[in-house]
Amino acid sequence: SGRLAVGDARGVLVGAGASGFAAVATRASVRALSFEPGGRLLVGTEDGLFLLDEGGALEDRSPGTGEEARRIERIASVEGVAAAATPAGVFVTEDLRAWRRLPGPREALAVALRLGGAGVELVCVAAGDVLTASLAVGAGTAPALWPLPGLDAAVRASASPWWRGERGSGSRRKPPR
């Protein structure tokens, strides 16, 4: 659609670049944004995941009810599948209503999705490691996460600090809340 979205502590702006931007949502602490194939926008915040439709209405589509499941670190979507990285773990959905938590570690900081041969490949950073899972669209199951093959120990050891913004700074700060 050519639309762009940017978000920060004051909310979300949507526009088409040079033609300008308009404030479409005033949710505080926007942490992640992802357009769905139909043009709807997923807005991840410190207090939940929200779906912004073309008319500007926000609907709560958080993957869980607890504080950790509602604090969205990152989101991704591809071909009708969405994933959310939260302190409670990685959640996936095909309809933005019924979320499944993937078995595996908690403390997920990042997530990415891409189309694969037999479905959707998920890659995430959780509990200080780079993990992956193959999602069979329509299967209704939650596959377990396993270490992403081909990464050496140095990459694995640096995964969590890199996503937390430490990148060799020597600091040990906590992720923003």
pLDDT digits (tens, 9 = 90+) for 107-159: 899 999 998 777 889 999 888 888 888 887 776 666 778 778 777 666 666 66
- The pLDDT of residue 153: 66
Please give the average per-residue pLDDT across 80-102, as a whole number.
Answer: 93
For residues 88-108, one letter each, b for 16 or more C-beta atoms within 10 angstroms of the residue's C-beta and e for the rest, the string is: bbbbbbbebeebbbbebeebb
1-56: pLDDT as tens digits = 677 888 888 788 888 767 788 877 776 688 999 988 777 889 999 999 999 876 77
- The pLDDT of residue 10: 79
Distances from the Cα of 162 to the Cα of 41, 122, 133, 167, angstroms: 27, 19, 21, 5
- The pLDDT of residue 160: 52
Distances from the Cα of 124 to the Cα of 27, 43, 157, angstroms: 25, 19, 14
- The pLDDT of residue 156: 61
- The pLDDT of residue 159: 60
The yes-or-no verdict on residue 68 having pLDDT over 90 is: yes
- The pLDDT of residue 127: 83
Distances from the Cα of 119 to the Cα of 21, 79, 88, 114, 147, angstroms: 35, 10, 24, 9, 19
Burial (CB < 10 A; 0-12, 13-18, 19+), residue 51, is: middle
Please give the average per-residue pLDDT across 83-100, as a whole number.
Answer: 93
Q: And the tokens for 160?
A: 């969590």
- The pLDDT of residue 14: 82
